[in-house]
Structure 1
Amino acid sequence: MADTTFDMIVIGAGPGGYVAAIRGAQLGLKVAIVEREHMGGICLNWGCIPTKALLRSAEVFHLMQNAKAYGLKADGVSYDLGAVVQRSRKVAGQLSGGIDHLMKKNKVTVFRGEATLPAKGKVSVKGEKGAQEIASKHIVLATGARARELPGLEADGDLVWTYKHALQPVRMPKKLLVIGSGAIGIEFASFYNTLGADTTVVEVMDRVLPVEDAEISAFARKQFVKQGMKIMEKAAVKKLDRGKGKVTAHIESGGKVETAEFDTVISAVGIVGNVEGLGLDALGVKIDRTHVVVDDLCRTGVDGLYAIGDIAGAPWLAHKASHEGVMVAELVAGGHPHPIRPGSIAGCTYCHPQVASVGMTEAKAKEAGYEVKVGRFPFVGNGKAIALGEPEGMVKTVFDAKTGELLGAHMVGAEVTELIQGYVVGRQLETTEEDLMATVFPHPTLSEMMHESVLDAYGRAIHF
């Protein structure tokens, strides 16, 4: 008879769940994890990781097309979409297999199947060999989320795609419509546009990348348009007429509806939490707009039940889920972890140019009543950016004028998804402008722009 009682049971093996399981095991807890599909969840298999592999292929292709600018010759440059996708799947597969290994190494018991919570402290797992029941005083929900589908705009895998279809395309789109310009929409738009698809992006808000600082959004938009994308803001796709090999989209903009024809549509209009079928209602779990309501330590209000990651609401980011997983495991093991501060979680978008940010936008800081000092530094003033052939971009910093606290940092340009971490560490250590100014940044690096942006906020920029 296999063991069925655990110190902690985690439902879902994505970047929230599997990290919670590992941390729990490190702390001496006896841990079980339940997964119905892939170890590593959406992030490793259908999200963060495979999209980065695709985007890297697009980036290399872009560089090959522009070889002449670097004094290089590359004639007859083309691509094999099947091979690009195959590489992306291989990368995902390698990492997913790595999670299996980590579970074994940490002695976490893995149950494969669909989980339900028939009663408090109980989990029923329905697998290939029927159902079995396991028990624990501490259960962590890490079931993630899936693509939101709008009525009439549902995916069919042929003409209309979700992110999953877009990761394993049945063909190369010629005329592509992307609905939604958040991270997922704009990353796919960037990928297919670079490979030569005639790409239109429709965004219902007043600007693309609507959660970013307005200046950064505007800068990115200019670059996208320069690359040949058509961007429609304050616009909505009202309906799709599906024909043979084509879709007619009815797009409302400025009070009138226009139609346009496409061969492929990618819908990226947000996500909904995977809260159904678990038995949460019967347990008295509060759910708000498909997300489980939790406190700042991810407790649901039902004794011994926690929710982490996408199912627990925004920001929907893998690194937030992982951090919450660690926090909850420490709580279960009797520790006193600090709650996560949402303002210290960076957002990264891997389009071309990349976009990254942490903390408050300039507008949000002013709305919150701060008097601000804002600094900016353009890539064109940086030696390394020019040497890389990447002079398009900017770094923007927002400070509290009274205390010198770094309220937010926003970047657009080459490799900013790697640079942002400098400011994230700064915020975690409660840095002021003085600390940042006194830091010696290595030369020649892109990171020097981070220094210059801070100096600029106080009228001290050297190189611009």
Structure 2
Amino acid sequence: MSKTEFDIVIVGGGPGGYVAAIRGAQLGLSVAVVEAAQLGGICLNWGCIPTKALLRSSEINHLLHHLGEFGFTADNIRFDLDKVVKRSRKVAGQLSSGVAHLLKKNKVTVFDGFGKLAGKDGARRKVAVSKDGKPVATLTAPHVILATGARARVLPGLEPDGKLIWSYREAMVPTELPKRLMVIGSGAIGVEFASFYRNMGAEVTLVEVLDRILPVEDEEISALAHKAFLKQGMTILTGAKLGAVRKNGDSVTVPVEAGGKSQEITVDRVISAVGIVGNVENIGLEGTAIAVDRTHIKVDPYCRTGEAGVYAIGDIAGPPWLAHKASHEGVLCVEAIAGHTVHPIDPTNIPGCTYCRPQIASVGLTEARAREAGHKIRVGRFPFIGNGKAIAAGEPEGMVKTVFDAATGELLGAHMIGAEVTEMIQGYVIARTSELTEAELKETVFPHPTISETMHEAVLAAYDGALHI
């Protein structure tokens, strides 16, 4: 019979849950993970990782059609969509198996089933595990961590049907490339799918109800992305209102009002990417002191809910909805349970990355938010066209923008668009976490030739000292 008493039971095996489990085991605690689907959660299986595999394929397709710029010639360039999708799924499968190996290596007990809070047994919490509606086990532990994640938000009239209207799941495993595609929602998920399908040759219309795409990013970065997407051949509609969708056999007609113009757009497929909702249903929250706000569990800076002994991490605990935030919360939560001194997460130190073409990355306050917060600021900008490595790599379109507090020199925010910026943003994250000022950043030696030199120049530019513009 499987062991049922643990120090910690974690409900959900995604990037928050499995990382929390490994850290708990490292600290000498007995840990169980309850996972109803696949270890690694949405991120490893249907999100972060397989989408990056798809995007890599689309980048290669783009390069193959621009070989002449690098002195090459190739004829009859084509791709096998089935192989593109299979590679993405293979990558996801490999990493999910890797998570299973890590949990086994760390002696974490994994229960295959759906977990929910089931009351108390003295000082211990109970978690009921079921599979296909049948009881599997009742686990007990003084500490339960809820890491059940989130799912795609569904708008009335835009319910995914698996054929004409797609959620992210259908969009990741197409059996054929739609000639005409509409993506509704221009957050990270929406623009990544728009970028993938456009680079693979589809005609893409990107629709956003707000007045600009990528609305959480700095306005200048959003504007540069808008310009880049238009240059790639996308149609972009902002400030849009959608009418009732009509399905026509093997196509969809969407009435759209935008820019003072009403039109009906017919496409082969629609991807709905309009946000997420937390998985708070049927996990036993009823009758507890756990508070839920707009489908997300309220927690304190140490991930504690209103119910003693119950914690929540990751997407279910609210924004930012990012895997690295979930993992960090998992470690913080478990270390606090183990009695270690931990520091709450500063949300403004959590970087955001979007893997479209061109890539986008940011951390901290936008220029507008910094001004709204009352800061007197200094802003630096440096374009990729002034960077030797970017030009040599054939990636001259991009910009790095820095926002500093004029009085203290604090780096308030950094915003980047261009090749490899998702790999570079961590430099600014370290600077913010270490509370560096412009003085230390100006004195830092950046290697040449690298695109990262644009980061140094953007700091210098904020203080009128940029060297290559």
TM-score range, shorter chain: over 0.9
How far did 1:122 drift?
0.5
Matching residue of 2:377: 372
Matching residue of 1:125: 129
Residues 1:213 and 2:187 aligned together: no
Matching residue of 2:47: 47
Give, in whole Å, the separation in 1 of the partners of 2:250 and 2:391: 44
Give, in whole Å, the separation in 2 of the partners of 1:168 and 1:90: 12
CA 101–402 in structure 1, closer or farther in 2 if over 3 Å, else same: same
Contact map agreement 1:179 1:237 (CA 8 A) in 2: no
Contact map agreement 2:82 2:175 (CA 8 A) in 1: no
How far did 1:232 drift?
0.4
Matching residue of 2:15: 15
Aligned counterpart for 2:235 among listed residues 227, 230, 235: 230
Matching residue of 2:338: 333
Q: Deviations over 1:401-454 (max 9, x none)?
A: 000000000000000000100000111110100000000100000010000000
Contact map agreement 2:441 2:459 (CA 8 A) in 1: yes
Residues 1:459 and 2:440 aligned together: no
Give, in whole Å, the separation in 1 of the partners of 2:242 and 2:37: 32
Unmatched tracts of structure 1, length 5 or more: none
How far did 1:12 drift?
0.3
Q: Residue 126 of structure 1 aligns to which amino acid in structure 2?
A: S
How far did 1:255 drift?
5.8
Give, in whole Å, the separation in 1 of the partners of 2:243 and 2:322: 29
Q: Deviations over 1:350-389 (max 9, x none)?
A: 0000000000000000000000000000000000000000
How far did 1:247 drift?
0.6
Give, in whole Å, the separation in 2 of the partners of 1:218 and 1:254: 16
Q: Deviations over 1:277-332 (max 9, x none)?
A: 01102222100000001111111111010000000000000000000000001011
Contact map agreement 1:345 1:424 (CA 8 A) in 2: yes
Matching residue of 1:292: 297
Among the aligned pairs, what percent are the same residue?
Answer: 63
TM-score, length of structure 1 as denominator length? 0.99
Give, in whole Å, the separation in 2 of the partners of 1:281 and 1:235: 38
Give, in whole Å, the separation in 2 of the partners of 1:7 and 1:257: 59
Give, in whole Å, the separation in 2 of the partners of 1:330 and 1:130: 31
Contact map agreement 1:202 1:235 (CA 8 A) in 2: yes
Matching residue of 1:309: 314
Contact map agreement 1:360 1:409 (CA 8 A) in 2: yes
Aligned counterpart for 1:156 among listed residues 152, 157, 161: 161
Corresponding residue pairs, total: 464
Unmatched tracts of structure 2, length 5 or more: none
Q: Residue 362 of structure 2 aligns to which amino acid in structure 1?
A: S
Residues 1:249 and 2:254 aligned together: yes
How far did 1:334 drift?
1.2
Give, in whole Å, the separation in 1 of the partners of 2:218 and 2:371: 12
Q: Deviations over 1:52-90 (max 9, x none)?
A: 000000001111110110011222111111110000000
Contact map agreement 2:11 2:116 (CA 8 A) in 1: no
CA 285–255 in structure 1, closer or farther in 2 if over 3 Å, else same: farther
Give, in whole Å, the separation in 2 of the partners of 1:79 and 1:236: 36
Q: Deviations over 1:188-246 (max 9, x none)?
A: 00000111111000001111000000000000110000000000011032321111001
Aligned counterpart for 1:345 among listed residues 350, 353, 369: 350
Give, in whole Å, the separation in 1 of the partners of 2:328 and 2:243: 38
Residues 1:422 and 2:432 aligned together: no
Matching residue of 2:366: 361
Aligned counterpart for 1:385 among listed residues 390, 411, 417: 390
Aligned counterpart for 2:404 among listed residues 394, 399, 405: 399
Which SS does the other structure have where 1:407 is aligned? strand
Give, in whole Å, the separation in 2 of the partners of 1:402 and 1:123: 52
Matching residue of 1:239: 244
Contact map agreement 1:376 1:394 (CA 8 A) in 2: yes
Contact map agreement 1:202 1:237 (CA 8 A) in 2: no
More displaced stretch, 246-255 vs 184-193 = 246-255
Aligned counterpart for 1:202 among listed residues 203, 207, 214: 207
Contact map agreement 2:183 2:206 (CA 8 A) in 1: yes
How far did 1:259 drift?
1.2
Matching residue of 1:175: 180
TM-score, length of structure 2 as denominator length? 0.98
Contact map agreement 1:158 1:170 (CA 8 A) in 2: no
Q: Cα RMSD over matched residues?
A: 0.9
Give, in whole Å, the separation in 1 of the partners of 2:310 and 2:256: 44
Contact map agreement 2:129 2:137 (CA 8 A) in 1: yes
Q: Residue 125 of structure 1 aligns to which amino acid in structure 2?
A: V
How far did 1:253 drift?
2.1
